[in-house]
Amino acid sequence: MGCEKHRVEPEIHFVDGRIEPFIRLPPTRWQRLTEWDALLVAFLLAVVAAILVGLLFKL
């Protein structure tokens, strides 16, 4: 990044000591699939769908 005279660091150094990346990209699809909240929602939707399918077959 930058040129030889004007170097640009890949992260931002804050006065309180925090360091954050200069560009924060959103997680990829595969990273989002393995997050716990996404897995919990997928599990709950699967249970609800199974209950609905079971109720439909009883009718």
In this prediction, residue 1 has a pLDDT band, given cuts at 50, 70 and 90, of low
Across residues 20-37, what is the average pLDDT?
A: 79
Burial 17-42 (b: 16+ CB within 10 A, else e): eeeeeeeeeeeeeeeeeeeeeeeeee
Across residues 33-50, what is the average pLDDT?
A: 88
Q: Strand, helix or coil at 58?
A: helix
Are 11 and 22 contacting, i.e. CB atoms less than 8 angstroms apart?
Answer: yes
pTM over 0.95: no
* Residues 6+ away with beta carbon under 8 Å from 14: 20
